[in-house]
A and B are shown apart, each in its own frame.
Chain A
Amino acid sequence: MIETVLEALQFSFMRHALAAGVLVSVACGIVGTFVVIKRIVFISGGIAHAAYGGIGLGYYVKYSLLPAVLAGNSAAQDQRPGTWPLLGAVMFSLMAAVVMGLIQRRTRQRADTIIGVLWAIGMAVGIVFVDLTAGYKADLMSYLFGSILAVERGELFVILGLDVVIVLLVTLFYKELLAISFDETFATVENVPVDAIYIVLLCMVALTVVMMMRIVGLIMVIAMLTMPAAIAGRFVKDMKRMMVGSILLGMLFTVVGLGLSYVWNLTSGASIILVSGAAYLVSLAMPLLWRRRPRSHGSPT
């Protein structure tokens, strides 16, 4: 067991993967808590998928636009996509967050339909950009299903930076975020700028989703965002503790999932999701077990 762990850690990609998983869990736990208690899972899914448009744009810029502009430059010959798709994804997801958030706030009805439409348009834009891009694009699937093993050192700093931004925003606007999550009408009456705070929250979702895309992939982002928070929420009834709990659970799930994927040679994103999903199902079943033995252990924390 220990030998396997040591062996795995000799690979720099394994160390990067672990670091990425742990770092992303921080943002994921904090933002996921808001997504769960404010019930904005659907709009978060929309933001995540719209981000694919940005990935497509990033590829297009990197492999078609840049080579055309800087013909012959050695940087343009680099086969790796670098940070271009990531930048595109950040841009698109932030745009999606603002647009979807405003639509949700301004229109009375059918907001979910419009969000669903934007969700699909975002993805379609991404696919068309990739079609327009000439040459090598095998690595594209990694954004759909995650590629935590391919995380590069530079990306770790990007993730760390985004973590800092999110922790800072939540610290600064904690009382307002809590207020709009709990009772938006009351927050409005108390002259809290509820729309602005809500958009800030969605932008945090956008940044988190982009980071997580690298870990578990676009398709499974929402599961990874919500499961640790949902499990933590079953055991603690305080938002700060729920955040800490879901951060720790997120770290645990990514590390265990990563380990299993290494040992059994499985897709890392899927392993992480399965570990989280199994834990979530167990947490759902736990009250049934307690009911049978009511005197054991005392309060669940």
Chain B
Amino acid sequence: MSDTSASEGREVISIQHMWAGYEREPVLEDINLSVYEGDFIGLIGPNGGGKTTLLRVLLGLLPPMRGEVRIMGQSVNEGRRLAGYVPQVVEFDHEFPINVWDVVRMGRLGQRRLLQRYTAEDDAVVAEALRRVEMYHLRHQSIGELSGGQRQRVYVARALATEPEILLLDEPTSSVDPQVSTGIYELLRQLNEQGVTILLVSHDMGVISSHVKSVGCLNRRLFYHGEQEITADMLELAYQCPIDLIAHGVPHRVFSTHSHEGEPEVAE
């Protein structure tokens, strides 16, 4: 936890002057971000602040309006194969007839073209991914029968099965209770120690800041300097107003308004 800016590794994600949004209305403005191998970055921000949009751009689901996004030096449509995506579990069809194993094996889709069958190698990768999240024993379980935390582990395993250079997680703990959430962050920390680069977004700054290596704030603009602590300035810039800060190492207090150089225009 001591090394805050692990910038000696390769650059996994590079975002430069990127603008993105829907129907000509930018949600993200002038985003610059470098993620290096071994990083464990948490980006926090309010709902509607563009967290999911940022991930959609990284996954090639939404083309940026301006700027450049590279994953391992490749365009997103190529490079996204190297990213393991863990979606936000919002709505879920509990009746869907599929078991844990088949869900995780979908992580191998990127390796197998149309008309190609899954191979024994795929099975080995899937088994390994399930073991890493401690879900191997439940591999025959139907996905609808799992608890929220178990399901989240399965999605992490599916992302790991893509053999990713980086894990991208969208609100990994939005659908689980606090104890389970701690367990999931513990799992992510272990994976990170094993060398998995992680970028996650969440609105839950309390939990996030005590587990990740570095944090940033995202609300239309990104405030990230590779620091471990959320600073009052970052939060104020991101949230556009004085807010309660309940976070790791910072006492619960209200910040007074004060202007800051480079403050973005008031948006909402």
A: residues with CB less than 8 A from B are: 37, 172-173, 175-176, 178-179, 181-183, 185-193, 233-234, 236-239, 241-242
Contacts and interface: CB of A to CB of B under 8 A. Distances in A.
Contacts of B195: none
B183 interface: no
B61 A233 contact: no
A237 B112 contact: no
A190 B109 contact: yes
B87 A183 contact: yes
A176 B144 CA distance: 21
A150 B11 CA distance: 69
B109 A37 contact: no
A191 B77 CA distance: 8
B110 A182 contact: no
A182 B98 contact: yes
Nearest to A33: B97
Contacts of A193: 114
Given A172-B115, A179-B106, A187-B106, A238 B83 contact: no
Contact of B93 (A37, A176, A186): A37
A37 B96 contact: yes
Interface in B66-92: 77, 80-81, 83, 85, 87
How extensive is the interface on chain B, given as a class? Answer: 20 to 34
A183 B112 CA distance: 17
Q: Interface on chain A toward B: helix, strand, loop, or mixed SS? A: helix
B118 A191 contact: no
A178 B83 contact: no
Contact of A37 (B59, B97, B112, B117): B97
B87 A182 contact: no
Given A175-B106, A234-B95, 15 more contacts: A185-B85, A185-B87, A189-B59, A189-B60, A189-B80, A189-B110, A190-B81, A192-B109, A233-B97, A237-B142, A237-B144, A238-B99, A238-B142, A241-B97, A242-B97
B118 A175 contact: yes
16 contacts: A172-B115, A175-B106, A175-B109, A176-B109, A178-B102, A178-B106, A185-B87, A186-B158, A189-B80, A190-B109, A190-B110, A191-B109, A193-B114, A237-B98, A237-B142, A241-B97
A192 B85 CA distance: 15
Contacts of A185: 59, 61, 85, 87
Interface of B: 59-61, 77, 80-81, 83, 85, 87, 93, 95-99, 102-103, 106-107, 109-110, 112, 114-115, 117-118, 142, 144-145, 158, 162
Nearest to B60: A189
Given A185-B61, A189-B61, A191-B81, A236 B110 contact: no
Contacts of B158: 186
B219 to A, nearest CB: 24
A301 to B, nearest CB: 13
A36 to B, nearest CB: 9
B98 A186 contact: no
Q: Which of B87, B97, B112, B115 has the most CB of A within 10 A?
A: B97
B80 A236 contact: no
Nearest to A181: B96
Contacts of A173: 114-115
A172 to B, nearest CB: 6
A237 B81 contact: no
A239 B61 contact: no
B85 A189 contact: yes
A187 B144 CA distance: 19
Contacts of B145: 237
Contacts of B60: 188-189
A258 B249 CA distance: 74
Contact of A182 (B81, B85, B96): B96
A179 B61 CA distance: 16
Nearest to B159: A186
Given A37-B97, A178-B98, A192-B109, A186 B118 contact: no
Contacts of A188: 59-61
Nearest to B105: A175
A50 B59 CA distance: 37
B114 A238 contact: no
Contacts of A242: 97
Contacts of A234: 95
Contacts of B142: 237-238
Given A233-B95, A242-B97, A191 B110 contact: yes
In the A-B complex, the 3 residue pairs with the smallest Cβ-Cβ separation, listed nearest first, are: A237-B142, A190-B109, A190-B110
